[in-house]
A and B are shown apart, each in its own frame.
Chain A
Amino acid sequence: MPRPTPIDAYPTKTSDLQIDTEDILQEQIPPDGGGRVLHKNAHLQFLVRNLAQGFPARYMSQDASQPWLMFWTLQAFSTLQIAIDPDNKQRAIDTIMHWQHPDGGFGGGPGQAAHLLATYASVCSLAIAGRPGPEGGWDQINRKKLYSWYMSLKQPDGSFIVSNCGEVDVRGIYCLLVVAHLLDIVTPELIDGTAAFIASCQTYEGGFSSASHPHFVDNVLSACRPSLGEAHGGYTFCALASWVLLRPYIPLDDDAPRVDTRRLLRWLVHMQGSEIELGGFKGRTNKLVDGCYSWWVGGAFALLEALGVSGVPESARASDETPPPRPGTHAEDGWDDVDDSLFNRRALQEYILIAGQHPAGGLRDKPPKNADAYHTAYCISGLSAAQHRVCPSPAWRAEVRAVWKGEDGVRAAAFSEALSWTEEAGASHVVGSAANRVNATHPLFNLTITHTEGIMAHFYKQSVPKRVPKRSP
């Protein structure tokens, strides 16, 4: 048995909970060394049941999150490589369009106020299920009203409130930036000051908090903006992804806001639980591992690649040619020699497979908890992040840029940066059999690359060069 977390003969509430959790997790390990099987069918049944029959009454607390329930379900299907049939797609579109608010944006359900989070989940669901043309959803999104509603939420410190009279937090900003990028409504006015706000949310630990508090001296925003709340996995993902999205527009002068990537990386790697916790991720220092952080923290490492922080030595990186096929892609042997990520990808996959799967289908925080729609989606996305290496490719960016029709500027940058992310062929590592493989997702949007390209090409009125079909491993 791996070493328990040392408690220095000084037990407290935190360490008691920690030790109990370690015991529970260790009990999950099948004695024969097996158990590393992704039960795709059981999860599909769980998802289909929610989609077709509906969510049981305990989901009533998520009545204001109907777009999320839709997105989690559709995205889990996509990652599990399941296409939705045309009838259900149309029903999805019709349902989603009932959430659009007459004054712009989408609400948590019909007749609910527009909300940044609901708008993200609605638009991303439409990226999966929608299409151009009448009844297709895409062309029925009122982008003009959406944009002016976004501007109405903007605060003097560069942040946004999540809804009329709502709170400020980095989740909302992430959601806004994703939608603005997908739908081609990014403008310099929209994002003015936002990068500085994001940077101000980094805490002394290295991760990011939910928000910061503006501090004005003589009507000028001061540099001191205390963070509200400690470093947290979910907020860190949202802040980092926002930062990566905003980076092309940040001027390169001395006053430019900065993020400390060294400290951020240190914090991220320390969120991985040790062997006794099966290598799952936690969301805060001294808290417990939880399956959803497989995506929020596990997925953040790909984003760091965009900031030049990579486990791949520089000599072997960013070669503009296709990388040579590497040995050990699927073979279990030789894994350690080719794995060049900054976290333990194998252990994270094992956590999801051994502890994250509920025996009755669906995925979860940790045993003995129930499965739910949220954890199902983010455990599967996290599994995807642990299996694949998706990073920005300068070569691919150049190709996208070469076929860009129109002026240079914010639009061209938004389009080519977002679509420069490419799955590195031959760099995936799948724990267990090849049948455990799930689709790669776009690290910024948590949509498949195909869905991202489809919706962006439509709204930017551009074509995307055909990606070379992946070599079979």
Chain B
Amino acid sequence: MSAPTADDTTEHVFYAERPEWADVVPVVQYENIQPLAPIFYSPEYKDATDYFRGVVKIGEKSLRVLQLTETIIRLNPAHYSAWQYRYETLIAISAPLQPELVLSNTLTKASPKTYQVWHHRRLLLTALGDPAPELAFNEEVLKADAKNYHTWSHRQWLLAHFDQENLWADELPFIDGLLEDDVRNNSAWHHRFFVSFERGSNDDKDEAEAIVKRELAFAKEKIALAPNNSSAWNYLRGILDHSRVPYSTQAIFARQYIVDTVEPRGNDILDLENPPPSEGAELPCAAAIEFMADVHEASGNEGISEAVELWRSLADTHDTIRKRYWEYRIRNAVATTGKA
């Protein structure tokens, strides 16, 4: 059994003119009123949705309903009721779901920014129970838009829901590749955090420590490459907060980024734990100043005045748009030490 598809290459025939639909009474959208703020629909869309309302009214779930809902979804992929009714119909008539997934590939690639296309896939994958080919498809969609929110949250759902070792296995190399393409892609950074720290089933303490070490090194290496990259700094902070490691452990690293110019490299052996800024770095780096201010603030009384000085430099020179915030940090820190 296969569902007839709404083939968009042949000439469109209105549902009102199809004899096989003659038994369904179309339902117009608004009866007896002139709606405020109406939308001007194309005749094809109006015709199909009139029949859809007719079908919903009588509760018919049949093969031809799949054709009708496909017509609507192709014209308006955000029509969630058509998607929902389609899914219920697929289940009700026990339609094979694999061909539906294939159709969904096309529709997803055509409208990757629509909630419904992704949710439909989720329902299908859950019912089919086979996540293996989905990562490759997802990657293909990310190639066209590496920051698509839906694509990413779908990928993360897939990993968390099925939680299979073979699914997680290649995620880090995959992220490495994306960050090599664009080290400022925050979606890839978030995914890295998800993969490294949010996998529910990891209880091994030694392994957890090794991951923290690995990720700190990774973040610092990427900061060195392009220091004014908020994504990498947020990631560095995220690791430290998550693992409750004090920021001060990274002070030697961060200090290199708050100077005015890149210091010429001597012949000394490179400190691999604390990679210095690249030659092209534009210093001082506001994110590093903020980081160092946090280090000083956490060290208590004596540190506060150094922190205040750094916040002042952000407020007055290096990050003036956030002047109010930096002044708020100063007020708070001073008030806290005053009380202590």
Contact = CB atoms under 8 A, between A and B. Distances in A.
Given A57-B40, A226-B200, A270 B84 contact: no
Contacts of A222: 200
B247 interface: no
B241 A204 contact: yes
B321 A91 contact: no
A203 interface: yes
Given A224-B198, A287-B147, A10 B225 contact: yes
Interface residues of A, number: 87
Contacts of B328: 311, 342
Contact of A66 (B39, B181, B226, B227): B39
A62 B184 contact: no
Interface centre among B230, B278, B325 (most CB of A within 10 A): B325
Interface centre among A62, A92, A204 (most CB of B within 10 A): A204
A203 B190 contact: yes
Interface residues of B, number: 90
Given A6-B282, A8-B227, A205 B37 contact: no
A54 B149 contact: no
Interface centre among B27, B53, B183, B184 (most CB of A within 10 A): B184
A91 B241 contact: no
Interface stretch (A111-119, A246-254, A317-325, A446-454): A111-119
Contacts of B225: 8, 10
A83 to B, nearest CB: 15
27 contacts: A9-B278, A12-B181, A12-B185, A13-B182, A60-B41, A63-B39, A64-B78, A66-B37, A70-B36, A91-B36, A108-B80, A108-B81, A111-B52, A113-B80, A113-B81, A165-B87, A167-B115, A204-B238, A209-B153, A211-B153, A215-B200, A226-B200, A273-B321, A286-B185, A340-B324, A344-B323, A344-B324
Contacts of B234: 204-205, 285
B138 to A, nearest CB: 13
A423 interface: no
B40 A167 contact: no
A166 B182 contact: no
A91 B193 contact: no
Interface string A407-425: 0000000000000000000
A213 B78 contact: no
B42 A60 contact: yes
Nearest to B84: A165
B293 to A, nearest CB: 12
Interface stretch (B2-10, B154-162, B204-212): B154-162
B250 to A, nearest CB: 16
A263 interface: yes
A109 interface: yes
Contact of A343 (B88, B157, B324): B324
Interface in B117-167: 118-119, 122-123, 146-147, 149, 152-153, 156-157, 160-161
Given A63-B78, A165-B88, A228-B157, 4 more contacts: A163-B80, A204-B235, A286-B186, A347-B321
Contacts of A210: 149, 153
Contacts of B80: 64, 108, 112-113, 115, 163, 166
Nearest to B321: A274
A5 B234 CA distance: 17
A204 B328 CA distance: 22
B314 to A, nearest CB: 11
B156 A98 contact: no
B171 to A, nearest CB: 13
Interface string A150-175: 00000000000001111100000000
B274 interface: no
A69 B278 CA distance: 50
A295 to B, nearest CB: 18
Nearest to A14: B184
Interface string B97-132: 000000000000000000100110011000000000
Nearest to A348: B321
Contact of A70 (B27, B30, B37, B85): B37
Nearest to A217: B200
A64 B76 contact: yes
Contacts of B285: 6
A344 B27 CA distance: 52
A447 B149 CA distance: 28
A340 B325 CA distance: 10
Contacts of B118: 167
A148 interface: no
A226 B199 contact: yes
Contact of B230 (A13, A224, A285): A285
Interface string A169-212: 00000000000000000000000000000000001110001110
A213 B321 contact: no
A274 B319 CA distance: 8
A12 B227 contact: no
B221 to A, nearest CB: 13
B322 A344 contact: yes
B140 to A, nearest CB: 18
B20 to A, nearest CB: 22
Contacts of A215: 160, 200
Nearest to A345: B324
Contacts of A69: 37, 39
